[in-house]
């Protein structure tokens, strides 16, 4: 099996063109450019090699890819995921799907709820979290990341922690926002 580095351009064109002197001369000059391109591709394949990059290189990649929120003190895994997903997140900036993915870096379960889903004010949203979220530092970091990736016209109402009571009775939710706790009971 041939690799990209082993391919000769003359071997991959139609047999009827191989004998033409102009085609041979063109392919000969293109072969050196092709070899340089293949060697440059090795440095482009950073997705598989990002875990081998130093922290300094990872920080520079975050700047280069314009990561909307990047905290050098986050865990290595979170920083790698932020860099790897930066372009895709910037394309979908402001969508609930991106906010869900951003929250999945910090929480086991997180779901964006739009204002009509919980009776909020138009252009507001909140994030429903699982019951296992207790660390206020993580909530603060996730809040900063959500504020960086949310739609500019949208207002973030905070986090709501859901506790399952019984399948038929719904759930109890506690809202978390800036050192306040509010209990809301649904029946």
Share of the chain above pLDDT 70, in %: 80
Alpha carbon distance 128, 161 (integer Å): 6
Average pLDDT, integer, range 126-151:
82
Q: What are the extents of the domains in the chain?
A: 4-44, 47-91, 92-187
- Its sign, for the CA torsion 68, 149, 176, 122, is positive
Alpha carbon distance 84, 102 (integer Å): 12
pLDDT in tens, 146-169: 998 898 899 999 888 876 555 555
Alpha carbon distance 153, 155 (integer Å): 7
Q: Report the side by side order of strands in the sheet with 170-177.
A: 110-114, 124-129, 155-166, 170-177, 180-185
Would you state the pLDDT for residue 179? Answer: 42
178 sits in the region (left: phi over 0; alpha: psi -120 to 50; else beta) called: left
Q: What is the DSSP letter of 133?
A: -
Tell me the sheet residues that pair with 182: 175
User: Which value, to the nearest 10 degrees, does the dihedral of the CA atoms of residues 115, 152, 109, 126 take?
Assistant: -30
Indicate if the pLDDT at residue 177 is higher than 80.
Answer: no
Would you state the pLDDT for residue 122? Answer: 93
What is the gyration radius of the CA atoms in the chain, in angstroms? 25
Indicate if the pLDDT at residue 79 is higher than 80.
Answer: yes
Q: How many helices (H) and strands (E) does the chain have?
A: 9, 5
Local confidence band at 123 (pLDDT 50, 70, 90 cut-offs):
very high
- Mean pLDDT score of the chain, rounded to an integer? 80
Alpha carbon distance 185, 105 (integer Å): 28
Indicate if the pLDDT at residue 135 is higher than 50.
Answer: yes
Would you state the pLDDT for residue 164? Answer: 59
Indicate if the pLDDT at residue 4 is higher than 70.
Answer: yes
Alpha carbon distance 135, 176 (integer Å): 11
Q: Which one, of 135, 137, 106, 71, lies nearest residue 127 by Cα? A: 106
């Amino acid at each position: 099996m041939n690799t990209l580095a082993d391919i000769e351009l003359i071997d991959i064109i139609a047999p009827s063109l191989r004998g033409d002197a102009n085609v041979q001369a063109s392919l000969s000059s293109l072969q050196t450019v092709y070899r340089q391109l293949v060697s440059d591709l090795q440095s482009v394949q950073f997705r598989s090699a990002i875990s081998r990059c130093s922290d300094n290189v990872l920080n520079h990649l975050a700047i280069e890819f314009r990561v909307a929120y990047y905290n050098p003190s986050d865990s290595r895994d979170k920083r790698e995921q932020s860099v790897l997903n930066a372009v895709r997140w910037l394309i979908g900036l402001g969508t609930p799907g991106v906010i869900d993915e951003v929250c999945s870096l910090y929480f086991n379960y997180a779901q964006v709820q739009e204002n009509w889903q919980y009776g909020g004010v138009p252009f507001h949203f909140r994030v429903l979290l699982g019951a296992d979220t207790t660390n206020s530092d993580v909530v603060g970091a996730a809040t900063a990341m959500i504020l960086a990736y949310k739609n500019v016209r949208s207002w973030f109402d905070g986090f709501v922690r859901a506790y399952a009571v019984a399948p038929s009775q719904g759930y109890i939710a506690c809202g978390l926002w800036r050192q306040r706790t509010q209990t809301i009971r649904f029946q």
